[in-house]
Amino acid sequence: MAQDFCHPNHMYKTELKNFSIEDIASSGQCFRLVPGTKKAEFKLIAYGRVLNISHVGSDYSFSCSKSEFDTIWQRYFDLECDYEIYKNMIIPGDLFLREAIRFGGGIRILNQEPWEVLISFIISQRKSVPAIRTSVERLCKAFGESIDDQSYAFPTAKALDQADEKALSSCGLGYRLPYVKKAALAVVNGDLDLEKASKSKTAKLIETFMKLKGVGIKVASCVALFGFHRLDVLPVDVWMRRVIDTQYGGSFPKEYLKYAGVLQQYMYNYARLNKINGKITLSS
DNA sequence: GACCAGGTATTGC
DNA sequence: GCAATACATGGT
């Protein structure tokens, strides 16, 4: 604390490989990591904190102390893991994945808060990524605890459970509003125990979330992957459906299944940002 | 101003 | 069982 007082604007600098904040921000797994006012600057809100990030190439600066970085953000950005392992899994001849990794090789699978992931992905259904961001941000502003004058934490289950119906509906949730309400109630009344869920095996975990109204296999898979770091889980949305059908003959390569969640993220990102609908021709 | 979006629940056969 | 359909709203 003394150190914080003496250095209110502390910065932690480090070089990061296989890491790009731009790639992560656009990859559709996290909706509260957004570009700042200047180029190569980003603002993240997670774990009730604000983190400003800037970089020149692979030299990154984070608006926190080294100890905060080590205890929170290192894990959040999955920096303990060497992503070369995943990149080296490319099957020779899989030009699509190779191209996807060339395009967005700085992606990481974040360790986000399960509750935030659950609600964000309930909201995500039949919404575009920019529209999800808008809804989530409105939700935070309306019901989240204030961190500073323009930053709000993700609302707690209790806050959403008690949320005024009208105020909630002004967040653009549409028909998903009762789903959000019911998920909040489930956590508040103990029907859904996220701490306990984190200890169950992946199949059981997914099953647990699918009991919630408005949570099907895709949303439950996203929660397992992004909220519980189950890297073998493969969420299939409209983009991944197209990728699987047009690039892999209808089924995800079995060689990739162990880390399907990571590899699909490269694929999803590449397909969505390049609007790849049909089979594309890639040359070696 | 259509068209589509990191789907799911419900209905109809 | 499985295919078709409704669903709220915003971004492009």
Q: Which of A218, A258, A275, A279 is catalytic?
A: A218
Q: Which of A168, A172, A140 is nearest to A156 (CA)?
A: A140
How buried is residue A123: exposed, middle or buried, by Cβ count under 10 Å (0-12/13-18/19+)? buried
Beta bridge partners of A45: A50
Q: How confident is the model at residue A283 (pLDDT cuts 50, 70, 90)?
A: low
SS3 A43: strand
Rounded distance in angstroms from the CA atom of residue A131 to the C1' atom of nucleotide B1: 19
Q: A236 phi and psi, to 5 degrees?
A: -115, 105
In angstroms, how far is C11 C1' from A243 CA?
A: 23
* Residues A209, A221: Cα–Cα separation, whole Å: 9
Band the pLDDT of A281: cuts 50, 70, 90. low
* A268 touches A221 (CB < 8 A): no
Tokens 């986000």 sit on residue: A112
DSSP string, A12-41: EEEE-SS--HHHHHTSSS-SSEEE-SSTTE
**Band of pLDDT at residue A4, cut at 50, 70 and 90:** very low
Question: Mean of the per-residue pLDDT values for chain A?
Answer: 95
The reply to whether A57 Cβ lies less than 7 angstroms from strand C is no
pLDDT of residue A1: 40
Q: Global pTM?
A: 0.95
Maximum separation of any 2 CA atoms in chain A, in Å: 60
d(CA A225, CA A190): 23
Q: Is A218 a catalytic residue?
A: yes
In this complex, the answer to whether residue A91 has its CB under 7 A from any atom of chain B, a nucleic strand, is no
pLDDT for A50 equals: 98
Instruction: Give residue A3's pLDDT.
Output: 40
Q: What does DSSP assign to residue A154?
A: P
Task: Determine what percent of chain A is predicted with pLDDT higher than 70.
Answer: 94
Query: Over pLDDT 90: what percentage of chain A?
Result: 93
d(CA A223, CA A124): 12
A10 touches strand B (CB under 7 A): no
User: For residues A35 and A106, what is the distance between their CA atoms, to the nearest angstrom?
Assistant: 16
Confidence of residue A5 (pLDDT cuts 50, 70, 90): very low
Query: Taking the CA atoms of chain A, what radius of gyration do you get in angstroms?
Result: 19
User: Which residues pair with residue A42 across a beta bridge?
Assistant: A35, A53
Residue A123, pLDDT above cutoff 50 = yes
pLDDT at A9: 56
Using CA atoms, how far residue A138 sits from A50, A118, A123, A127, A142, in Å, is 17, 16, 12, 15, 6
Chain B nucleotides close to protein (CB under 7 A) are 4-9
According to the model, what pLDDT value does residue A276 have?
85
Q: Is A33 a residue whose pLDDT tops 80? A: yes
CA of A179 to C1' of C7 (A): 13
Task: State the pLDDT confidence band at A8, using cuts at 50, 70 and 90.
Answer: very low
pLDDT for the residue A215: 98
pLDDT at A160 over 90: yes
pLDDT at residue A282 greater than cutoff 80: no
CA A126 to C1' B4 (Å) is 9
Q: Which residue has the higher pLDDT, A1 or A195?
A: A195
